[in-house]
Amino acid sequence: MSRHVLVPIDGAEQSYAGLEYCFASFPNATLTALHVVDPSHDNYASVGDSDTPEKRAEARGEQFLERAIDLADDHGHEIKTELRTGRPHSEILSVASEDDIDHLVLGSHGRSPIRSPFLGRVSEAVVRRSPVSTTIVPETPPAIRDRDLPGRILVAVDGSEQAEAAVAYAVEAFPDASHTLLNVIDLPLDHDRADVEGTYLDKIRTAHESSAEEILESAAAVAAERGGDVETATVYGTPAAEIVDYADGEGYDQIIMGSHGRSLAARLVTGSVAERVTRDSPQTVTLIRGEPGAV
């Protein structure tokens, strides 16, 4: 499905887990491992060191990329490497904007405990602004290798074009996986309250439940058009929290969802849901950009 995948490498185990995810998920894709030299953060200087911060940072970057090459060799996979200098998120976005990159895979933590987590800065900025679909990998390489990817996939749907694009992507990219479509019903009341029966609140609950059914039917039709056989589920609650809890509690291996929701006006809200899921999920999360026919 993905033809050319960009994998930023910062030396953290999670960034190499991103490569492990690619080896399992995109065996026929071209992979480029990117390291961005950021000489403003030099934690390796020593007394009497004659090298400049840039030289030290470049040397470390070359070592990180050599490890990526060795890891690819172990899997029988060739990869390209690229070393750039600048602000990490800006350089990642710049490379991702090139015409032949169609997917981005990011580890979710930085390599030093002194600095903020990778997801807190670089990955979060990239997730928000990436021009291509993006996968966030919060696990370590052994954890990814232990998963039988693509495994069980949870696809969160909300009726938006990008949610249906996520369904199309999940079915087409991972036809051998088990797929479940999940809609979260976010009610302004406790859904199991008996005392609202016959009131206007009962009508609100019924309307939301009917909408969820329609959303799932439409998403299932998208899957069926592509030969996908999917299950459907609904839960009640706050979308981001329920998506994460459901995936974790039911033993899913990864989450796929649209990066934005039902309308341009709703993007701040639904974009926040996507970002919260990537921030909180212990499983890999993929955010899809585009419409069903364009994925």
What was the pLDDT predicted at 65? Answer: 97
Considering only residues 48 and 218, tell me which one the structure prediction assigns the higher pLDDT: 218
Domain span holding position 179: 150-294
Give the mean pLDDT of the chain.
84
User: Do 157 and 138 lie in a common domain?
Assistant: no
Residue that finishes a domain, picked among 103, 124, 145: 145
27 contact partners, CB below 8 Å, separation of at least 6: 77
DSSP string, 181-227: EEEEE--SS-TT-GGGTTSHHHHHHHHHHHHHHHHHHHHHHHHHHTT
Q: Who contacts 206 (Cβ-Cβ below 8 Å, separation ≥6)?
A: none
Which CATH number characterizes residue 174's domain?
3.40.50.620
pLDDT band, residue 295 (cuts 50/70/90): low
pLDDT digits (tens, 9 = 90+) for 41-82: 655 555 455 677 788 889 999 999 999 999 999 999 999 999
107 and 210 share one domain: no
Indicate whether 177 and 240 sit together in one domain.
yes
Tell me how far apart the alpha carbons of residues 10 and 118 are, in angstroms, rounded to a whole number: 9
Report the domain count for the chain: 2
